[in-house]
Amino acid sequence: MEKGKIKTDRARCLIDMVIGKGEKQSRIMIKSMKKRDPDLCSTLGLISSPAGVGELRRIRSEFVQRVSIPVIKGLLDDLWQQELLSTEDKDFVMEKGKIKTDMARCLIDMVIGKGEKASKEMIDSMKKRDNPLCITLGLITSPTASGPEV
């Protein structure tokens, strides 16, 4: 039997067992899951979308339209260097060819799928690589025109 199938069968068995024990045990299991794996709980809809994932979802359309290819490549490098994307992930985004919007869409959807940590890191990397884009997307506030007078 395949390793992934065994893991799936065990998870299914555990869930069925806990459901059989009643609502109180189900709540205890969910509480424990929230502590152990908040990304999974967010994906399952057990908790609301965390800030990073939620922010990327909010800016997705405009990001796809406005980001440049050099920034996409830089984000890929940053996320790969932090071991949040694999070499295969990087190659997959780059295989989208020269169509910038396809590359951007693929990248942001992949990062959202990887969860909160990857999403926050992508936002941090965007702030370093393209500050004006982040201002446009509402990820950071624009510096105020009126500062202290000299």
**Domains in the chain, start-ordered, CATH in brackets?**
3-36 (no CATH), 51-137 (1.10.533.10)
Alpha-carbon gap, residue 69 to 48, rounded angstroms: 32
149: confidence class by pLDDT, cuts 50, 70, 90: very low
In the 3-class helix/strand/coil scheme, how is 66-116 assigned residue by residue?
A: HCCHHHHHHHHHHHHHCCCCCHHHHHHHHCCCCCHHHHHHHHHHHHHHHCH
Residue 50 reports pLDDT greater than 90: no
What share of the chain in percent tops pLDDT 90? 50
The pLDDT of 89-117, averaged and rounded, is: 90
Contact 118, 84 (CB under 8 A): yes
Kindly report the pTM of this predicted structure: 0.64
What pLDDT is attached to residue 32?
A: 85
Contact 100, 72 (CB under 8 A): yes
More confident residue, 129 or 39: 129
Alpha-carbon gap, residue 62 to 98, rounded angstroms: 19
